[in-house]
Amino acid sequence: MALAVAQESSGKIAVVGWLTPSTTESYRHSSVGNPGLAQLRKSLARHGLIDGRTVRIEMRLAEGKLDRLPALADGLVREGATVILAFGEPAGRAAQAATTTVPIVCVADDLADSGLVADFTRPARNMTGISILATELDIKKIELLKELLPRAKRFGVLNDPATGGPQRAQGMTEAARRMGITLQMIDIRGPDDLEPAFRAFRAGGAEGVNIVSSAMLTGFRQRLGELSLAAKLPAVCQFRNMVDAGCLASYGITITEIYDLSADQIAKVLKGAKPSELPIEQPRKFELSINAKTAKALMLSIPQSILVRADTVLQ
């Protein structure tokens, strides 16, 4: 669906087509550093790109249904998008299938490992973007989960098979093996898979859950927080806003930096830079957040060694 944006002013202005698998509810839910139209507008404004005046943002959400992305991407191209901002690998692939000429800025796990670009320094084709280091961060999250639950022997992994290359699963498995942990990995392809996954984790004896970085799963954060608490399974995720929704902890990049880096790339493209020659950007800021209220509900004591490292402790 398309969210309302400011009306185009007189004259032709650049159109930023924003393609994401997320949900309307996810983007409208208010919290600190929450993703959404307001944050993208703020990041673009740093470059003098004002929605409704110097650019126009057209947002397309797949509502958690990845199979909707190709049609949404085709629509953005037909409607004259000047540049496409694609969140997640499925959105990036849909945009690439829709056009070989419109510049694409894609935010994904590893743009090179996934095959979306040829190289980090010279991406080739019509795509550049941001690689968010999710493979490395998912290993860190498994380690954090073990630190939170030192006696645990089995963790669940809520996985989005449409994002991340084989290195992600391999990295998590090897890290878990070093810590004496067995992983139960369940793939999620849409909202209907969430509740059965948590039932399977409970039946399989999982003692905690790692929610992998995924634009789709981030969009389900409110439901994931509810399911984690209902199943009494501590969950570690990537973004602070997922901790706001009830996950026990998060470790990863900041929402603000994702949007700022995306806006930086969009601004360069709109000034004439070729995506094929724009190096892939990577985040530099990482934050650890803890939800003390969730810990209390799960009757867990957060180790002091984690609390002193935390950037945020939600009470």
- Model confidence over 117-168: pLDDT tens digits? 888 888 878 999 999 888 889 999 999 999 999 999 999 999 998 887 677 8
pLDDT at 27 (0 to 100): 74
Instruction: For residues 98-118, give the mean pLDDT.
Output: 90
Please determine, for residue 31, whether its predicted confidence score (pLDDT) is greater than 60: no
pLDDT band at 7 (very low <50, low <70, confident <90, very high): very low
Residue with tokens 């185009």: 8
pLDDT at 134 (0 to 100): 84
- Model confidence over 181-212: pLDDT tens digits? 999 999 999 999 999 999 999 999 999 999 99
Domains of the chain: 14-132+254-284 (3.40.50.2300), 134-253+287-314 (3.40.50.2300)
DSSP 33: T
CA dist 51 and 104 (Å) reads 19
The strand ranges marked E within 148-276 are 154-159, 182-187, 208-211, 235-237, 249-253
pLDDT at 269 (0 to 100): 97
pLDDT at 111 (0 to 100): 87
Please determine, for residue 29, whether its predicted confidence score (pLDDT) is greater than 80: no
Q: Smallest Cα–Cα separation from 214: which of 311, 132, 130, 148?
A: 132
Between the alpha carbon of residue 38 and those of residues 59, 62, 64, 74, 230, the distances in Å are 12, 19, 21, 25, 32
pLDDT at 49 (0 to 100): 97
Tokens of 86: 């694609």
